[in-house]
A and B are shown apart, each in its own frame.
Chain A
Amino acid sequence: MANDVSSPEEQPRRREKPAIVFGLHREPFGPRPGEEEPVGRQDRAPALESAQLITDKITAFYGSKRAIEDVSIQFQAKAVSALIGPSGCGKTTLLRCLNRIHETDPSARVTGSVLLDGTNIYESDVDPIVVRRRIGMVFQQPNPFPTMTILQNVVSGLRYAGLAKSRSEQLEVAERTLKQAALWNEVKDLLDRPAIALSGGQQQRLCIARALAIDPEVLLMDEPTSALDPISTGVIEELMTALADDYTVIAVTHNMQQAARVSDYTIFMLAGQDRIGHVVEMDKTNNIFTHPKEKRTEDYISGRFG
């Protein structure tokens, strides 16, 4: 891709393992395939051999209306997967099915299964709270908790889980995650100020830090830059690329250039005449943008509709 934001050499490739491993036990991942010879964002995409999150025939309803139908995708571990497609194709709905946020809407319902490391998160004995600790989420609009300070926002998930009780622990978590979210330098002296006093771009990075604080394995991002200015967008895009070293990142985006810039894999979705969304094509980002297999993908990529 010609429009790479930065070469991998400039990106932080490794991050220290977090001091606090949240609630659930899990094995650290080995080195990502293709780590040794990174040449460009699109070439980093490893062969899909370590899928961490797999959806199997996910169908999501709002009331009796189907929003997406029979969506089966494998999401590569420790890579950025982008969900693209025109408005109303069910990208966000799919994303919301992955951490069971979809079902918090009283009218919403899901069938099918989502496997996280082989376990179906929709199994009746799985607590959605545990799922959401392992699969974090960043929303389209920054949504810091309005009555909390910056520090309280960052540690809110940990506090609820009974962790990071002392201020020194909290400061440690805040420093680590805010640095990861590229916000530390701007707020390190303002940790006890209200979070809503930050600018939109800062709020969004705070929300990313907040999501990282509970140390999830997967990070879902729903158009995380659509409400932000170009500079903040650039910062968050770099962040997404860097995060893929440690997390499985799945991002919805309206912006095809963004998908091309930041993602290793791209999933193209489309709603048919019946307005029910489904997956048209999924492949390495490079393949999707240079020689898509489907005519409809090509039409969308080249801006002929949507």
Chain B
Amino acid sequence: MATEAASLRAKHATPIAERRIRSLLGEIFAGTCAGVAAILLLTIFVYVLREGVGALNLDFVTQLPRPVGITGGGVANGILGSLIIIGIAVIIATPVGVLTGIYLALFGSGTLAESVRFMADVLSGVPSIAIGLFAYTLLVAPFHHFSGLSASFAFAILMLPLIIRTSEEAVRTVPRRTREGGFALGLSKYATTMQVVLPAARPAILTGILLGIARVTGETAPLLFTAFGSQFMELNPTNPMAELALQVFTYAISPYQDWHRQAWAGAALLILAVFVLNVAARFLLKPPSTKRI
């Protein structure tokens, strides 16, 4: 027995030491990569905030843009435009996305579900400018008129795959036995889905919607030929509208010093918004307290 153990030790002595070293190297490599990623993110964050915070003041969020040459002014129209455009996009994308997710998780099987899932995955990889062009062809060109609504439509398409997949996952995490509990009480499929499954999946679905909002908040490309932009306080979504990200883009490529300053401020505002959305999404995902009574 004793000799056997000794021989086992001898046999494994080198490989174990070697494995420890390999494991250590692996940890160092993974740690370094994680550090680089975190530092990059932090750098962008700090840099944008440093450049932007100077121009970020009450005027910036409450005033309309001023003509070139007059310093000051703000992007109030862009902020409201963003809220309206994204709000309408959420209203369009949420029902379609959540219901599709429920379909995929509970009822979809076979080729139809597989192809819907595949298309959602492909859609999430389509460049946003292509989706902008699609919205342009469908909703701008026929009417010879740019509009906030066409931008909302493009944004809705951008959000859709994210909402579909997170809803599907959220519904899937509700255990089958919970659903069967509904069936066993004589609840219909519809009632079980609406009253049992959906409430249980709600936090995760909301998280998906928030992440969808965060995803489109930074989008500029589809706006170029849909919302188009506006110098005025335009609140009617059937007209061309200002949008924060689009304004940042316009200001950033302009030759004017003051506009550059404002572009930084706008970028800082966008980053803060996305940051808050992500934190909120994280907060929502936290499981509810199941403290014992």
Contact = CB atoms under 8 A, between A and B. Distances in A.
Q: Do A and B come from one complex?
A: yes
Interface in A59-109: 99, 101, 104, 106
Contacts of B17: none
Given A130-B186, A157-B186, A214-B186, A143 B181 contact: yes
Interface in B109-143: 109
B186 A161 contact: yes
B191 interface: yes
A161 B199 CA distance: 19
A157 B293 contact: no
Interface stretch (A115-123, A194-202, A247-255, A273-281): A194-202
Contacts of B185: 132-133, 136, 156-157, 160, 210-211, 214
10 contacts: A104-B180, A129-B186, A129-B187, A129-B188, A132-B184, A133-B185, A143-B181, A147-B199, A160-B195, A190-B293
Interface of A: 99, 101, 104, 106, 129-130, 132-133, 136-137, 139-141, 143-148, 156-157, 160-161, 187, 190, 193-194, 196-199, 207, 210-211, 214
B291 interface: yes
Contact of A104 (B183, B288, B292, B293): B183
Contacts of B293: 187, 190, 193, 197-198
Contact of A101 (B178, B180, B188, B199): B180
Interface of B: 107, 109, 175, 177-188, 191, 195-196, 199-200, 202, 288, 290-293
Contacts of A193: 293
A160 to B, nearest CB: 5
A197 B187 contact: no
A145 B290 contact: no
B183 A160 contact: no
Contacts of B178: 143, 145-146
A141 B195 CA distance: 20
A173 to B, nearest CB: 13
A104 B292 CA distance: 32
Contacts of B180: 101, 104, 137, 139, 143
A193 B292 CA distance: 10
Nearest to A132: B186
A156 B177 CA distance: 16
Given A104-B180, A143-B178, A160 B196 contact: no
A190 B293 CA distance: 8
